[in-house]
Amino acid sequence: MAIALSELSVSYFIQGLGTLKHCLGLGQDHVRETGGDAASLLTARLYPDMFTLTQQIQSASDTARRACARLADAEIPSVPDEESTFDELFARIDGTVAYLESVDRAAIDASEDRTIVLPLRGTTLTFSGRGYLLGFAVPNFGFHVSMAYAILRSQGVSLGKQDYLRAFVGPNLAG
């Protein structure tokens, strides 16, 4: 049986955003427990030329919304990158999940062979719907979720692999 693109996109992105929200919550707990500075954690980065924790979360959110909109052949919602607090980032994640839940899954499923044109840094990439999802959107989303996790770990937040996997594993258990 073939797996529908909506399962590979909407469901996956919602699970990944659940991981982000859980890990970000552990980061917020860490700041409260240690008396740390929330702004310092949210602006932390792994390397000077990489995105901050906040930007990683914004990018994961953007990737999920844009991917599902492109696949559904819908208008891409514009969300300004203005978050600077934990609560604002939680709200962004929740808003992204709400958007994903509203996207027409049948339209996504019908996009497997539709051409997706992606302008990217002075060039244009052309994919099939399936190629775009599996060859660009999913890896890009996963990268940003992983980098957010890595930044939190690098800043002393107590989280482990189980924290990363929990949102993915639960919905996929048999029985």
**pLDDT tens, 117-151?**
998 889 999 999 999 999 999 999 999 999 999 99
The total of structural domains in the chain comes to 1
Which of 104, 106, 100, 114 has its CA nearest to residue 62? 100
pLDDT at 175: 64
Residue 174 falls inside a structural domain: no
Residue 32 falls inside a structural domain: yes
pLDDT at 2: 79
Residue 42 falls inside a structural domain: yes
CATH number, domain of 21, equals 1.20.120.450
Residue 114 falls inside a structural domain: yes
Residue 173 falls inside a structural domain: no
> Could you say which residues of the chain have pLDDT below 70?
1, 171-175
Distance of alpha carbon 166 from alpha carbon 164, whole angstroms: 6
Distance of alpha carbon 100 from alpha carbon 6, whole angstroms: 10
Predicted TM-score (pTM) above 0.85: yes
Angle (CA) 154-157-162 rounded to 5° is 100
Give the helix ranges, DSSP H, for 75-159.
86-102, 105-109, 129-132, 138-154
Q: What is the DSSP letter of 171?
A: G
Which of 88, 76, 34, 81 has its CA nearest to residue 56? 81
Residue 64 falls inside a structural domain: yes
pLDDT at 150: 97
Q: Which amino acid is it at 169?
A: V
Residue 13 falls inside a structural domain: yes
Domain that holds residue 106: 5-168
Residue 117 falls inside a structural domain: yes
